[in-house]
């Protein structure tokens, strides 16, 4: 099966303080070896934009 992750999922995956972090890590860990996970270029742009515009103390 193929999965397309949105910006919120990717953000929460990398944010260990997120309330959804552990659930996302567990769900991704439960995927089968033949499953594929994708992130769209739009999500990558949104994450880059958010990072570049975040206050320094939040980077």
The predicted structure's pLDDT at residue 2? 98
Q: How many CB atoms lie within 10 A of CB 15?
A: 12
Query: Partners of 37 in the beta sheet?
Result: 3
Average pLDDT over residues 1-27: 96
Q: How far is it, in rounded angstroms, from Cα 28 to Cα 17?
A: 18
Q: Is the pLDDT of residue 59 over 80?
A: no
């Amino acid at each position: 099966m193929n999965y397309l992750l949105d910006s919120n999922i990717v953000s929460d995956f990398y944010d260990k303080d997120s309330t959804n972090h552990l659930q996302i890590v567990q769900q991704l860990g439960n995927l089968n070896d033949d499953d594929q996970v994708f992130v769209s270029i739009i999500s990558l742009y949104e994450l880059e934009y958010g990072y570049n515009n975040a206050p320094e103390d939040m980077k």
